[in-house]
Chains A and B, each alone.
Chain A
Amino acid sequence: EAQVTQNPRYLITVTGKKLTVTCSQNMNHEYMSWYRQDPGLGLRQIYYSMNVEVTDKGDVPEGYKVSRKEKRNFPLILESPSPNQTSLYFCASIPRRGGLDNEQFFGPGTRLTVL
């Protein structure tokens, strides 16, 4: 089944404890992206990746790191989480079809709480 998977789905942690949220897609998509969703603010892009070893900042990259060492994986790293990073996180992947079509396929989401 074609899908985007995220782990963990739920995480409660404490301030300053490094964590990684994994994202994996099995559709051989070139592009992958991370978003956070907060009430009243919609989805905001954190980082995206156009290919292996190629990443670019989204709208809210501060406090986050990403890496793209393999095409299928795009982990999100919080080196020192803070309470303002409590949010719902979505990973997405995008097939390279050319032209203007860049539909994003979303993972199920990871709900993160930083105490």
Chain B
Amino acid sequence: QKEVEQNSGPLSVPEGAIASLNCTYSDRGSQSFFWYRQYSGKSPELIMSIYSNGDKEDGRFTAQLNKASQYVSLLIRDSQPSDSATYLCAVNGRGAGGTSYGKLTFGQGTILTVHP
């Protein structure tokens, strides 16, 4: 099993719909969870971070975390064509030296296309 696994894509939704992106992780000790957006040919940019169970909302984005199920998701409401990108789930982990700060494991990414 991969350490961080995202739902297979690509995902295509119509403009105005809700896009749902899912991610599961294997390390129960993980404490920090991130969603990055990456446009083609560009570097990843952080859109959401979440640390506690439950929902966290920021504008059209809602991150959901369930540590018992080892599951984190991202909902994008009122999807726009400009949301079309690859979405990367990232989870902090433990490095070889036992430290966790700065050690991030990414999922393989989900390509989202929002069509007009």
Contact = CB atoms under 8 A, between A and B. Distances in A.
Interface residues of A, number: 28
A41 interface: yes
A100 B31 contact: yes
A50 interface: yes
Nearest to A54: B97
Nearest to A90: B43
Given A43-B44, A109-B43, A102 B32 contact: yes
A61 B90 CA distance: 19
A42 B88 contact: yes
A56 interface: yes
24 contacts: A31-B102, A35-B106, A42-B106, A43-B90, A44-B106, A45-B103, A48-B95, A48-B103, A56-B95, A56-B99, A56-B103, A57-B95, A57-B96, A90-B44, A100-B32, A100-B92, A101-B49, A102-B101, A103-B46, A103-B49, A104-B46, A104-B102, A106-B44, A107-B43
